[in-house]
Structure 1
Amino acid sequence: MDHAASDLEKMEIGEGADRKLLIAVDFGTTFSGVAWAQTRRPDVQTIIIQWPDSTSGGLEGISSDKVPTELRYDGSDTKWGFQVDDFGPRHQWFKLDLDPSQSRGVSDLSRQYPDQHALPPGYNVSGEKLCTDYLSALRKHTEEVLKHKLPQSILKSTPIEYIITVPAVWSDIAQAKTRSCAEDAGMGKQLMIISEPEAAAIYALHAMDPHSIKIGDTFVLCDAGGGTVDLISYTVSALKPILQVEEAATGTGRLCGSTFLNRIFNKFLVDKLGLNEEWDEEVVEDAMKRFELVTKKAFRGTPGEEFVIPVPGLADDPAQGVRRGKFRMTGAEVKQIFEPVVQEVVTLVRGQIAATNKTVKAALLVGGFGQNAYLRETIRASIDPSIEVMQPPNGWTAVVRGALMKGLSVMEPTTARVKVASRSARKHYGTERMAKYDAVKHSKRPNYWDAYDGEYKVNDMDWFIKKGDPVTEEKSFKRQYHKVWPVSEGHNKAVSQDLLMSEDRDSTGAPVYKDSGDVRYLARLTADLSCIPANDLAQKTGKDGRQYYSVHYDIEMTYYSAHTKYAMVYKNVKYDSVTVEYV
């Protein structure tokens, strides 16, 4: 991507009514990024690098490829990103509150090394409000930047559509909450949601030398960020006309990003120097900045390394390694800080490689932590030496770059360079159905009398997608449903169907009944029938002699990168009138 926007600023006005502005948002746990492009100039893709800081409310306070995902409420004023200084409490990691079900949210690292300045979850304000307020500030800033990059006539006449990213392991309800927060933040109803590692893979594979890629090659992508580490694997299925890949293993993730290095370093400093009489917040701030900007990036784990940390104001203490306001750390001490975090990432990478059941060609490291040399070399030494470990260019912004590429390819398919042809279903998805009671097969199951059919029935599970099944955006899943109700009750305005899921963690297969295994309610789908006239509804006589409305209809489900679209099909007419209420 090109940071310059001069070509865009020179564009002629009025090139066509189909022009759109696409804005991709990598809503990260610790840092967020934004990229944008026009559909009429998809080759010019721009990263926003200008952010307001604590001393300036303007556009050019700080130059950075990303902005901290942090908030502070100061009376009626909301500070965000670089406006939040290092002193005092602040809201951070609130994105994770959208999906508290994720086990990674209570990892050993997060329990052992909490941030001393972070407000606890649910403190005075909900996670949804924090996410909405942050995304709103991000949106307003982005649109303000665009006012200085594009002519006003283009901004007024060009529709804006947003793309937002979510972790691969995000639950359905977390995806829905993310969409709701983004919509409430002003990002519109036409919002596209893409999984973070999928977006990163699209960019990373595009950035690779195409001559080195062959059909059948499998790649593990590790997106190691500040808070979370997400992994996913793909196998190349086609090279022309574009590179196509299929998911080789479902995504995994854990809360073990590089922020924990800072927290462990902070604890190390307190344990080492905290009893010094001159110890105060200023000492910590200067030391943390040096560790974040220099030490963390320079450490390679090679013999003889030594690092200087500023500790202004502390008295000389040769026994502690303090001299002239500086503290010398050995490479061995830095390694002790890195090891707990790096080993968790190594475990994730090894697990993902094993889950592919394929010969893996390379592990691709993206994200800010993914650019770290010690992490790269430790992973390289911990896996099969035949597997390459690579760090694609622009790794810190790979997610937002890939998300923008994906959005542009949806708007204009000719711009596609990498396509995820199929994904693996992460759960069993299905509904309960009525089946005719069989005294032998269902001897231990409760049954009930169905007056319409005049027979005993039982309920069992009908799984329309099973865990591990390949799913594509081109193929929808349909299930036919049959609802009957007495004509005397009048025209039902809606019919509902419960959607259930099973993660099948014990790998025992899809459960047969709702009350077996780990079957849980996912959502209630409600199909609106008010658009269908009563005289179009079929009427039939039941076995009990009563008149019934008898409606056969399909629920159509299309699974995308990180969201699901539902529609109702009745008499070959599709109605986008299905509402979803997640449990």
Structure 2
Amino acid sequence: MTNSSSDIRVVVGIDFGTTYSGFAYANVNTPHNIETNDNWPEKKGEFKTNTVIRYDKKLNVIKWGLPALVEKISKKGNNLKSEEAQIAELFKLHLGDIVEEEKPKLPLGLDPREAITNYLYEIGKHMKSRISERWPELIYFKHVRIVLTVPVEYDERIRAIMRQCAYDADLILTLESENLEFTTEPEAAAIYCLENLNEHSLKEGDSFMIVDCGGGTVDLTVRTILPDSQLSELTESTGDFCGSTYIDKEFKKFLGAKIGKSALKIMEEKHYPHLQYLIQYFCTHVKLPFDGDERNWRNKEIDLEEVCPVIMQYVKGEEREELEGCEWLIELDFQTVKYFFDKVIGNILKLIREQLTKSEKTISAIFLVGGFSESKYLLQRVRQEFDRQVSYISVPSYPVTSIVKGAVMYGLRMDTVKTRVLKKNYGVELYRNWTSNDPIEKMEIIDGQKKILAFKRLAKKGTAVDVDQEFKNTSWPTFPNQKASSFKIYTTSKNNGKYCSDPEMELFGKLHLELPDVSHGLDRPVEFTLSFGKMETRVFARSLKPGMTANATFRLEL
């Protein structure tokens, strides 16, 4: 990759979220003046817009963001031919490790990577316009660094997919461009909190937990404050699919029981924009105001005839009789809505509990960030559960923008992050001498000697590694005339991995080494180096023979 850091004049942070997305930017000469975009198509004054795309039948993008959501449907007739509008939302979840049936439906023929690329292109076009208005003298590809936030669950393969999508979306000039960097969502939030220590009463040596409560995922990281305003990662970051959209899914199940499963299925297949409007109505009028205090509660009614009239024609049998009897009103009582929340919040509390158990140091504070963190009921439950273990549990100012601002801060000063904890073991497949402890069926005879292909660990899971810390291995040619050699790099979550053929092993990538002058025969040692500290692996090689050179190329296994 070509290093162009000296040319960077503006840093942009993009928080590409499951349900909402936004961006912020700052000039390197005025790093404390971070501007968060609040001017969106058909939506001004909000820091984020919806992560939604509306397509036509041929999968051409019609609208994106808030305008992509369906307008309210008139009682007198549909003001939108919903069959002609194909809505794509929650497509980011397709990159996550969730079962196929749990992944949200997309328009027929639409690949989730294409949807991601389309959305990044649209938000990128808007971002470029805003930056050119602010600094018209800038050359975009030369002077702008982009920091894209990702969930902690995204491994390097998925980050490589995101890089490809960013390239296809015209955010970077070349696929290998160093003008694109990644940081995890909770790490960005931790950097934001680091820059606001006075607000949170934290000091050097303290450790704190970030709980990023988004729409699709909830991600956690524990960080320790180091000298010179740096952060180290204390435990392995964790996360799960238990964001606020899973409350919406519980509401959809409830709706299905009221209107009938067949009616719900027809709405999903033929009138999805109308169904989406109904769900958004639930979010605005029921989910967002819910604070968990029954004393403040008044039962909520949703008038299907008013909010979603198209649904009425598909309700049959007992469900129709019951809804007609109550004039198409669906009532939500306190216990029902609380059940929607408790199922999701229970998973969040479990994640926090696991992080507290893993930490060898006292956690001084827990900060809830992200859109779901604005739920008063969520904050109340976290405090009830952990206020005896953690002295300070809070939501920082502007939790919705903490991630995107933290991303900009990271891009402005990338040495803020001192260490990251490896989530897997990394190693290389190499031949070694076979022993009686090895499986006999794996033995190979090479030049009359008993050999076996084994896993040689280079970096251990759970290790806190410095950013750009190097892990090295030296190899020699197998044959005197050998001009090149290849190595397979594997990862595994298990610490006792021995053989790359074991089921838990995953091929991470392939390393190709060009060996120096063959006239030296076997005496041509080459050292190759892998650096895992950044969000993307770097590979280097050098000849240990004076006067010789060696080159290395690394290809990630996607």
TM above 0.5: yes
Would you say 1:366 and 2:360 are equivalent positions?
no
Q: Name the counterpart of 1:106.
A: 99
Q: Name the counterpart of 2:409.
A: 405
Q: Name the counterpart of 1:300.
A: 291
Distance 1:297 1:469, change over 3 A: same
2:183 paired residue among 188, 191, 194: 194
Q: Name the counterpart of 1:503.
A: 493
2:469 paired residue among 448, 457, 475: 475
Q: Is the 8 A contact 1:498 1:525 kept in 2?
A: yes
**Local SS of the residue matching 2:18:** coil
Opposite residue 461 of structure 1, the aligned amino acid is F
1:187 positional shift: 1.9
1:356 positional shift: 1.8
Distance 1:393 1:457, change over 3 A: same
Q: Distance in 2 between matches of 1:513 and 1:288?
A: 50
Would you say 1:291 and 2:277 are equivalent positions?
no
**Local SS of the residue matching 2:14:** strand
2:388 paired residue among 381, 385, 389: 385
Q: Name the counterpart of 1:69.
A: 51
Q: Distance in 2 between matches of 1:576 and 1:82?
A: 49
Q: Is the 8 A contact 2:468 2:534 kept in 1?
A: no
Counterparts of 1:321-400 in structure 2, within 5 Å, are 329-383=332-386, 385-387=388-390, 388-400=392-404
Q: Name the counterpart of 2:543.
A: 570
Q: Is the 8 A contact 1:22 1:162 kept in 2?
A: yes
Deviation per residue, 1:466-501 (Å, 9 max, x gap):
1111211142111112223353xxx73x43210011
RMSD of aligned C-alpha atoms? 3.4
Opposite residue 135 of structure 1, the aligned amino acid is L
Opposite residue 298 of structure 1, the aligned amino acid is P
Q: Is the 8 A contact 1:229 1:257 kept in 2?
A: yes
Q: Name the counterpart of 2:417.
A: 420
1:290 positional shift: 4.2
Q: Is the 8 A contact 1:233 1:251 kept in 2?
A: yes
Deviation per residue, 1:481-531 (Å, 9 max, x gap):
2223353xxx73x43210011111xxxx322233446222221122355xx
Q: Is the 8 A contact 2:509 2:556 kept in 1?
A: yes
1:579 positional shift: 2.6
Distance 1:209 1:478, change over 3 A: same
Distance 1:158 1:46, change over 3 A: farther
1:374 positional shift: 0.2
Q: Distance in 2 between matches of 1:139 and 1:311?
A: 38
Distance 1:538 1:196, change over 3 A: farther
Q: Name the counterpart of 2:154.
A: 170
Q: Distance in 2 between matches of 1:197 and 1:574?
A: 41
Percent identical pairs in the alignment equals 26
Q: Distance in 2 between matches of 1:366 and 1:513?
A: 41
Q: Name the counterpart of 1:119.
A: 106
Q: Distance in 1 between matches of 2:220 and 2:200?
A: 25
Opposite residue 444 of structure 2, the aligned amino acid is Y
Q: Is the 8 A contact 1:321 1:328 kept in 2?
A: no
Q: Is the 8 A contact 2:93 2:216 kept in 1?
A: no
Distance 1:310 1:403, change over 3 A: same
- The more displaced of 465-474 and 256-265 is 256-265
2:240 paired residue among 254, 262, 265: 254
Q: Name the counterpart of 1:143.
A: 128
**Structure with higher strand content:** 1
1:146 positional shift: 2.0
Distance 1:406 1:448, change over 3 A: same
Q: Is the 8 A contact 1:485 1:550 kept in 2?
A: no
**Local SS of the residue matching 2:458:** strand
Deviation per residue, 1:81-121 (Å, 9 max, x gap):
2231235542222223334xx2xx239xx84xx86xx427x
Q: Distance in 1 between matches of 2:330 and 2:92?
A: 36
1:34 paired residue among 4, 8, 23: 23
1:538 positional shift: 4.7
Q: Is the 8 A contact 2:215 2:372 kept in 1?
A: yes
Q: Distance in 1 between matches of 2:275 and 2:557?
A: 45
Q: Distance in 2 between matches of 1:398 and 1:223?
A: 10
Q: Name the counterpart of 1:7.
A: none
TM-score, normalised on structure 1?
Answer: 0.78
Q: Name the counterpart of 1:4.
A: none
Q: Name the counterpart of 1:580.
A: 555
1:205 positional shift: 3.1
**Local SS of the residue matching 2:186:** helix
Distance 1:324 1:575, change over 3 A: farther
Q: Distance in 1 between matches of 2:401 and 2:182?
A: 17
**Local SS of the residue matching 1:338:** helix
1:234 positional shift: 1.9
Counterparts of 1:9-48 in structure 2, within 5 Å, are 18=7, 20-48=9-37
Opposite residue 119 of structure 1, the aligned amino acid is L
Deviation per residue, 1:160-215 (Å, 9 max, x gap):
22111111121221111111111221222221111121111111232342783244
2:532 paired residue among 559, 571, 578: 559
Q: Name the counterpart of 1:9.
A: none
Q: Distance in 1 between matches of 2:197 and 2:236?
A: 22
Q: Name the counterpart of 1:57.
A: none
1:429 positional shift: 0.6
Counterparts of 1:41-60 in structure 2, within 5 Å, are 41-53=30-42
Would you say 1:82 and 2:66 are equivalent positions?
yes
Distance 1:437 1:400, change over 3 A: same
Q: Which runs of 5+ in 1 are unaligned?
A: 1-16, 54-60, 414-418, 541-548
Opposite residue 399 of structure 1, the aligned amino acid is I
1:62 positional shift: 4.2
Q: Distance in 1 between matches of 2:260 and 2:11?
A: 49
Q: Distance in 1 between matches of 2:234 and 2:490?
A: 25
**Local SS of the residue matching 1:176:** helix
Distance 1:575 1:18, change over 3 A: farther
Q: Name the counterpart of 1:153.
A: 137
Q: Distance in 2 between matches of 1:527 and 1:162?
A: 31
Q: Is the 8 A contact 2:8 2:144 kept in 1?
A: no
Counterparts of 1:510-549 in structure 2, within 5 Å, are 510-516=496-502, 518-528=504-514, 536-540=517-521
Q: Name the counterpart of 1:241.
A: 228
Opposite residue 67 of structure 1, the aligned amino acid is T
Q: Name the counterpart of 1:205.
A: 194
Q: Is the 8 A contact 1:94 1:131 kept in 2?
A: yes
Opposite residue 375 of structure 2, the aligned amino acid is N
Q: Name the counterpart of 2:452.
A: 458
**Local SS of the residue matching 1:298:** coil
**Local SS of the residue matching 1:250:** coil
TM-score, normalised on structure 2?
Answer: 0.81
Q: Is the 8 A contact 2:387 2:393 kept in 1?
A: no
1:139 positional shift: 0.9
**Local SS of the residue matching 2:121:** helix
Q: Distance in 2 between matches of 1:332 and 1:270?
A: 18
Distance 1:482 1:283, change over 3 A: closer
Q: Which runs of 5+ in 2 are unaligned?
A: 1-5, 71-81, 310-319
Distance 1:461 1:200, change over 3 A: same
1:273 positional shift: 6.8
**Local SS of the residue matching 1:41:** coil
Opposite residue 311 of structure 1, the aligned amino acid is D
1:307 positional shift: 4.9
Q: Is the 8 A contact 1:481 1:553 kept in 2?
A: yes
